[in-house]
Amino acid sequence: MKQNFTVRQGALDGVEAFLSVAQHRSFRKASTELAVTPSAISQAVRALEARIGTALFIRTTRSVGLTEAGERFLLRAKPAFEELVAASEVARDLGQRPSGLLRLTAPRAVMSHLLDLIASFCRAYPTVEVEIASSADLVDIAAGGFDAGIRLGQFIEADMIAVRLTPSFPMAVIGSPDYLRRRPAPKRIEDLRQHACLRARQSNGSIAPWSFVNGNEATEVIVSGPLIANDVPTLLAAAVAGLGLAQVPEPIAADAVKAGKLVHVLQAFAPMAPGVFLYYPGHRQMMPKLRAFIDHVKSRPGAHKFAIDNQPAKRRRRA
């Protein structure tokens, strides 16, 4: 059977004309309200009646009345049409000023370091509600109904538009003083074979290797240890508890290091992560709520530190 790939036209044609005639009981008054000729109103109503297959009005030279079919059609069509008009107004309002619900997805560890940014945006744009869904998975923002996502730059798909939120930072290997009293601190990458290493399960199911830079050469190392987790806060807490070494973004560990709960090791081999980015799919027309959030990021004090890289990843676009 041959498929029809054309969109059916005219499903609502004539409905507005019908409703106006039904309200005024006059084709002429309806034409004045809708700023068209009486002939155009008459033609629109006739086309609607032909499409439905029955008369909706009783017309005389002196008056216009509704048939029984017209009364029933009016009863259902009027509230439905009003809902369509209201929906259009809501959509138009969302398209003209920052308002509505801004849905973001981000790892829990990342969001804990961006709450000041979110708080200042909420104060600046009280007509926008912000919803944050914390997930360690690499969420499909379009399929999940999100406006944007926040992730480490190396995990963002190349076809996304990315806006920098933080500078780049090292991936730090850290351990608790108690753990390092029980085992000598590693001096070389190879020394990790004698250590309990806390590992991360990636969203694709694989266990992430640890990354290092040895001179000018990047290298990945398969490590082993007593714990696997799918989020950074769990790995960090386990490291603080003395369960082993963990490799995490340096800003995530900074407070615990400052408090003396964790100690850096292998700093000379720490690779640089590209930083944290806001990302979203390219649309021909960006919603004002997202545009406002991006502009707010760029306008904050110190935003020059977050300047977009001049050498973006292959095919990735920066806003």
Model confidence at 142, in pLDDT bands (50, 70, 90)? Answer: confident
pLDDT, one tens digit per residue, over 5-52 is 433 445 577 888 888 898 889 998 988 888 899 899 899 899 888 888
Longest dimension (CA), the chain: 103
Q: Of residues 290 and 179, which shows the higher confidence score?
A: 179
Closest CA to 292 of 128, 119, 166, 162: 128
Q: Which part of the chain is CATH 1.10.10.10?
A: 15-94
Q: Checking DSSP bridges between strand 197-200 and strand 245-249, what pairing results, if any?
A: parallel
Please give the pLDDT value at position 174: 97
pLDDT, one tens digit per residue, over 200-246 is 998 788 999 999 998 889 999 999 999 999 889 999 999 999 999 99
Please give the pLDDT value at position 307: 35
CA 289/CA 280 separation, integer angstroms? 13
Q: What mean pLDDT is predicted for residues 48-71?
A: 87
Vertex 287 angle, CA 282 and 290, to 5° = 80
CA 89/CA 95 separation, integer angstroms? 10
Sequence-distant (≥ 6) Cβ neighbours of residue 134 within 8 angstroms: 105, 106, 107, 108, 111
DSSP string, 46-83: HHHHHHHTS--EEE-SS-EEE-HHHHHHHHHHHHHHHH
Q: Which part of the chain is CATH 3.40.190.10?
A: 100-167+274-318
CATH of range 100-167+274-318; options 3.30.1020.10, 3.40.50.300, 3.40.50.720, 3.40.190.10: 3.40.190.10
**How far from 217 is each of 77, 170, 275, CA to CA, in Å?**
70, 15, 20
CB 50 within 8 A of CB 42: no
Q: Which part of the chain is CATH 3.40.190.290?
A: 169-273
pLDDT at 90 over 80: no
Report the top-level CATH class of 15-94: mainly alpha
Token pair 């076809």 is found at: 159
Residue environment code for 208-243, b if the CB has 16+ CB neighbours within 10 A, otherwise e: eebbbbeeeeeeeeebebebebebbbbbbebbbebb
CA 155/CA 162 separation, integer angstroms? 11
CB 276 within 8 A of CB 171: no
DSSP string, the chain: -----SPPP-SSTTHHHHHHHHHHT-HHHHHHHHTS-HHHHHHHHHHHHHHHTS--EEE-SS-EEE-HHHHHHHHHHHHHHHHHHHHHHHHHHHHHSS-EEEEEEE-HHHHTTSHHHHHHHHHH-TTEEEEEEE-SS---TTTTT-SEEEEEGGGS-TTSEEEE-S--EEEEEEE-HHHHHHSPPPSSGGGGGGS-EEEEB-TTSPBPPEEEEETTEEEEE----S-EESSHHHHHHHHHTTS-EEEEEHHHHHHHHHTTS-EEE-GGGPPEE--EEEEE---SS--HHHHHHHHHHHHSTTGGGGPPPSSPPTT-EE-
Specify the CATH number of the domain 169-273: 3.40.190.290
Q: What mean pLDDT is predicted for residues 74-78?
A: 88
Model confidence at 87, in pLDDT bands (50, 70, 90)? Answer: confident
Helix axes 27-34, 15-24, angle to 10 degrees: 120
Whether this model's pTM surpasses 0.95: no
Model confidence at 315, in pLDDT bands (50, 70, 90)? Answer: very low
Strand partners, 219: 212
